[in-house]
Amino acid sequence: MSNLTGNLAFTIENKTACIGILGLGYVGIPLGVSISKAGFKIIGFDVLESRVNQLNQGKSPIKHIADSEIATMIGVGFEATVDFSRASECDVLIICVPTPLDKTREPDLSFVTATMDSIAPYLREGQLLSLESTTWPGTTEQILLPYIENRGLKVGSNFYLVYSPEREDPGNAHYSTKTIPKVVGGHTKACLELGSKLYATFIDVVVPVSSTAASEMVKLLENIHRSVNIGLVNEMKIVADAMGLDIFEIIDAAATKPFGFTAYYPGPGIGGHCIPIDPFYLTWKAREYGLHTRFIELAGEINASMPQYVVDKTVRALNEVGKSLKGAKILALGIAYKRDVDDMRESPSVFVMELLRDWGADVAYSDPNVPVFPKMREHSFDLSSVKITPNSLQDFDAVILLTDHSDFDYEMILEFSPLLIDTRGKYRVRDKKVIKA
Amino acid sequence: MSNLTGNLAFTIENKTACIGILGLGYVGIPLGVSISKAGFKIIGFDVLESRVNQLNQGKSPIKHIADSEIATMIGVGFEATVDFSRASECDVLIICVPTPLDKTREPDLSFVTATMDSIAPYLREGQLLSLESTTWPGTTEQILLPYIENRGLKVGSNFYLVYSPEREDPGNAHYSTKTIPKVVGGHTKACLELGSKLYATFIDVVVPVSSTAASEMVKLLENIHRSVNIGLVNEMKIVADAMGLDIFEIIDAAATKPFGFTAYYPGPGIGGHCIPIDPFYLTWKAREYGLHTRFIELAGEINASMPQYVVDKTVRALNEVGKSLKGAKILALGIAYKRDVDDMRESPSVFVMELLRDWGADVAYSDPNVPVFPKMREHSFDLSSVKITPNSLQDFDAVILLTDHSDFDYEMILEFSPLLIDTRGKYRVRDKKVIKA
């Protein structure tokens, strides 16, 4: 073991290493909370001055992280900054920035490269750099490694590089950052050892794999698996519905098989920052090898068509009572992308609302977690959440349940909605006014 | 409750009902064993005189059912017969015949209709008929019901009809017929009640669903889920391999995620009587509704292409050592369709062997469970299982591991095979002579 490796190993073990977290969002903040609980001092970096100020004042920008957790973190030693030159103060740098798709559905690594551009001048001997952002296999070696080598550093002997995919699941009541096993791949054996040592200080189980590319692929496979399984049940929903069968009843019965079957449920599409996006990182990279990722494409196509399916069902249901969608008053119930979160990214509810508006409907929404329709890059509604009451419900021509938050009063919704389009299998009753979609 | 319902319920409860099992194969025999253990007398029906004689002599035709189990069943009261007129003696009739595909991949219900033709004249008031064969949603109502009504019987009042899909998993060490929950759908409420009562006498958990069509769909969804998930990992294997990654390592690491991911493993294709066949029953029926089942088609296509992938890998590996497949001596290891069974139905190993032969290879096989290559409807090899020894292994140009039986001596295989094509991820070593396929 070289002196540098030994030094870094030592400061990690005795928690005196300074940890830099680059990107203070849905991944970086819970990660910081966990690292801080282990006793490390942290410098958090973000380009958003407002975000940095908010955190330094002890306020959490994320619904499921309490202000008190930020305050505790500050107590242990946490400081947020927009000054990336301070990367030189850090012994460990962990990148947690978004990796979206661009408009033509190609990987947009600009947040990663912008981060590397900002910190490159301040990289120094004896640092460990970990990328946590989801990306295509090879990113760490093909994109990050050259930045480091261009600085004259030698990865594996005086600088250490790992990839360790984030596995955050906001709103998951059973697992937290600490209890979700963490996969780590290193550029060299020494990198892997130091990376594993770091994560083991604040995560219960560390899972080493043979390379950074392998660990990049692990994360993609996880989300491809979800995307494809949700795509499959969405297709099965359409078939079952045509045959007069309730797909939710079918899935629940199939789930009684104690092996060989895992229940996934259909819905109005897929949302969030992972499932609709990550799979296409592999699609893009596979093209370089002359390969097509046909399951990913098919899942993407079917999942993306579900908002239209929901709207078609609504048009049909209104038609049955002699109404057109044009001019109809429609209430969208739940606009966050999944139950009990406030995150709107890629929410299928928004796509449904846009289609309804295109058809000429008068659209309102209700979501206990989203009081005002937020400013979004691609979507715009000048709306606030409607309070649901027996009177307000009766005012609509149709109510569409899109996100099944725990806080909704489902009995009242059933009783007072004139027409109820259920995309979540919440209502198993046989009632003419409940339409399964 | 009518008198007839009451009578049948009573004889089921006190185990004096006579149970007829139609079709004495991989499903009917384990089912009979379970029913017999509950104390019922059974008449078993089959068209194969040899099968009937074998059973009446206390001999099991299935590897994983011991002769002693047949003998015990005979002790309680079991008799096999080719005389279908004896169906009139039975209070309950359970159909467990195969439902294959024909040559153009359409459902072949001829075993079901032949069974119904044989027993129809002997159906009588007060009987319960259950279909267990996997089939398209609507079969029980559209195919079975007319037979019964044509006999002047009234389903739900003096005759009872249910569909309850078999969930046998030969070789499963953790679950047996008794401990695998059983889904039941009835043509009427009375049918469902009697069907549930029957199955509850010998199965721990009965899962009632709302119709026979729903229970038919449950079984299809289970096997579609498996087919699609195996198809997905087979596609991912091809992509990972092109990128120099080991898909088995990736899957194992992904499986450490404690939610949202279930491990399925790739292989040389899919086999057995269920997974390659059942999904297309839905494909066929969906066409009636103008719908395409695209995930099923894609999974079928990818899974069916895997034997060719394995052969391509073999050709490539031989090429590297300057050999052609033509004239090469190739050993196929494992020809049963999955680990530790002797069942050859739809085994991908056979497709691999046929492709190898087409290329001009000199093909041999070794399988501890299949001493002689059996007579099959579509495939023919005049071969016996080769005994594996250091000497015999060295005699081959390449050895292809296709089915990873527990009985193989994997260390010896690795040591003495000149070239080893591994389709099961059994060898995680980095060794030039081990080719992952």
Give how far Cα B316 sits from Cα of A12, A106, A216, A390, B398, Å. Answer: 47, 33, 28, 70, 11
Strand segments (E) across B2-71: 18-22, 41-45
Query: Where do we find the tokens 């282990």?
Result: A38
Q: For position A160, what pLDDT does the model report?
A: 98
How many Cα neighbours within 13 Å face the side chain of B289? 19
Both tokens assigned to A101: 């798709």
Quick: pLDDT tens for A250-262. 999 999 999 999 9
Can you tell me the distance from the alpha carbon of B268 to that of B348, in angstroms, rounded to the nearest whole number? 6
Query: Is the Cβ of B172 closer than 8 Å to some Cβ of chain A?
Result: yes
- Residue in chain A nearest B295 by alpha carbon: A232
Distance from the Cα of A172 to chain B's closest Cα (Å) equals 9
Could you tell me the CA-to-CA distances from B244 to A117, A138, A211, A213, B435 in Å, in that order? Answer: 29, 10, 11, 9, 12
More confident residue, A343 or A115: A115
Percent of chain A at pLDDT exceeding 90 = 90
Cβ-contact A41, A78 below 8 angstroms: yes
Interface-testing mutation among A167, A176, A218, A430, with chain B (most B C-beta atoms within 10 A): A218
Nearest residue in A to B136, CA atom: A243
Of B210, B222, B235, the CB nearest to A254: B222
Any B CB within 8 A of A412 CB: no
Per-residue model confidence (pLDDT) at position B365: 98
CB within 8 A of A100, min separation 6: which ones?
A108, A111, A273, A277
Judge whether A261 is closer than 8 Å to chain B, CB to CB. Answer: yes
**Averaged pLDDT score across all residues of chain A:** 95
Q: What is the pLDDT of residue A422?
A: 97
CB–CB of B245 and A211 under 8 A? yes
Better-predicted residue by pLDDT, A105 or B419: B419
Q: Is B144 helix (H, G, I), strand (E, B) or coil?
A: helix
Q: What is the full per-residue pLDDT of chain B (437 aa) written as tens digits?
A: 577 778 999 999 999 999 999 999 999 999 999 999 999 999 999 999 999 999 999 999 988 899 999 999 999 999 999 999 999 999 999 999 999 999 888 999 999 999 999 999 999 999 999 999 999 999 999 999 999 999 999 999 999 999 999 999 887 889 989 999 999 999 999 999 999 999 999 999 999 999 999 999 999 999 999 999 999 999 999 999 999 999 999 999 999 999 999 999 999 999 888 888 999 999 999 999 999 999 999 999 999 999 999 999 999 999 999 999 999 999 999 999 999 988 888 899 999 999 999 999 999 999 999 999 998 878 889 999 999 999 999 999 999 999 999 999 999 999 999 999 999 999 988 888 999 99
- Closest chain B residue to A286, measured at CA: B239
Mutual angle of helices A294-320 and A212-242, in 10-degree steps: 30
pTM score, two decimals?
Answer: 0.95
B180/A258 touch (CB, cutoff 8 Å), yes or no: yes
The whole-number pLDDT of residue B271 equals 85
Tell the residue number behind the tokens 């005049």, with chain if given.
B382
Confirm or reject contact between A142 and chain B (CB < 8 A).
Answer: no
Interface test with B, best of A217, A226, A246 (most B CBs within 10 A): A217
- A:273-332 residues touching chain B, CB 8 A cutoff: 282, 285-286, 289, 291, 293-295, 298, 302
Q: Hey, what domains does chain B have and what are their CATH numbers?
A: 3-209 (3.40.50.720), 234-436 (3.40.50.720)
Contact of A234 with A302, CB cutoff 8 Å:
yes
For residue B11 the two structure tokens come to: 């004889």
Rounded CA-CA distance B20/B95 in Å is 8
pLDDT reported for residue B251 = 98
pLDDT at B1: 59
User: Is the Cβ pair B224, A236 closer than 8 Å?
Assistant: yes
Per-residue confidence band for A1, with pLDDT thresholds at 50, 70 and 90: low
Whether residue B261 and residue A294 make contact (CB cut-off 8 A), yes or no, is no
Instruction: Report chain A residues whose CB lies below 8 A from the CB of B137.
Output: 243, 245
Report the chain B residue with the minimal C-alpha distance to residue A293.
Answer: B235
**B261 contacts in A (CB within 8 Å)?**
221-222, 225-226
Give pLDDT, residue A64: 84
3-state DSSP of B214-233: HHHHHHHHHHHHHHHHHHHH
CB contact under 8 A, B225 and A207: no
